[in-house]
Amino acid sequence: MTLAVEHWAPCSDRARERNDPLAGTGPRGLRWFLIEVPGSWGQNALLDAPFDRELGRALVRRIEGAGMRPLAIRRTGRRVASATQRWAIVDSRPGYEGVVWGEAADAAGLLTVPLDGSTGIPSSRPVYCICTHARHDQCCAVRGRRVVTALAGARPDETWECSHLGGDRFAGTMVVFPHGLYYGYADDGDPVRIADAFDAGRLVPERYRGRSSLTHPVQAAQHFAREAFGDDGIDAFAPIAEESTETGWRVRLAGDGDRAGGGGRDGGGSIVIEVDETQSEPLLSTCAATRFVRVRQYALRSIGAEG
């Protein structure tokens, strides 16, 4: 469907007007390779000038070939390259969450960094990455800047700007490492509250998109479980199984959840949730989009306890 004549508005403004749901929209990412690139970024941060294009392509091929997701990061306000090349490896798989930081002599040295996490210095501190990738989408620049300014003021050592995360219409977007917790519309709330909740082992449900290690149907099912039972623990409602149905998915989640603070349902057993996979009305998903598309959404069909 081609672009119709209409009043143009930023994609994140349009998403808010439509009340686009956040649940089940977190892109996949089990393990990540973060590369500090303090200068300006092209449309593709590691593939376009001013980053070395040939090196960037080799890096991306190597990182993605190892089943990892590359991400450019930088400190807010810093545009001068350091003497060494800083990097981090993040494991977001449940039960394996961790961050290791390291340095290479230069950017070319990244091609020889072991990608199994066996080198580097482990860190127990969270990493908050906020998308401010202006050349990818203007909403990420405008709204992301608000988020990073607020969060860096409170947690300067843990806050980073990052390249495209996915879901421009949900700007300001951010991801909390090592768990891979995606948030959207973060500039509409207090991003410091998201960081404080993480410290307490909890989520901020009204801004939460999903966990990068989980499939979209599981992300959506967890959302509906949290709505029904009120447990906002990060590790609540762990997935047990999922299967496709005629209209969507049937997902079985652990029912005991995270009991910190007394949230969630009492007892053990499991929760079975059926979600319908639907398509939105045609929309422009980014600021630069010229073609209307339908995006995947999820609706609750049923929820019940087992065991």
Q: Which pLDDT band holds residue 263 (cuts at 50, 70, 90)?
A: very low
Q: Is the peptide bond before 50 cis (omega within 30 degrees of 0)?
A: yes
DSSP type of residue 27: P
pLDDT for position 104? 95
- Quote the percentage of the chain above a pLDDT of 70: 92
Q: Which class in CATH covers the domain with range 1-213?
A: alpha beta
Could you tell me the pTM of the whole model? Answer: 0.92
Provide the token pair at 172. Answer: 């300001």
pLDDT at 264 over 50: no
Could you report the per-residue pLDDT of 7-39, keeping only the tens digit for each?
678 999 999 999 999 999 999 999 999 999 998
Could you report the per-residue pLDDT of 74-87, keeping only the tens digit for each?
998 766 667 889 99
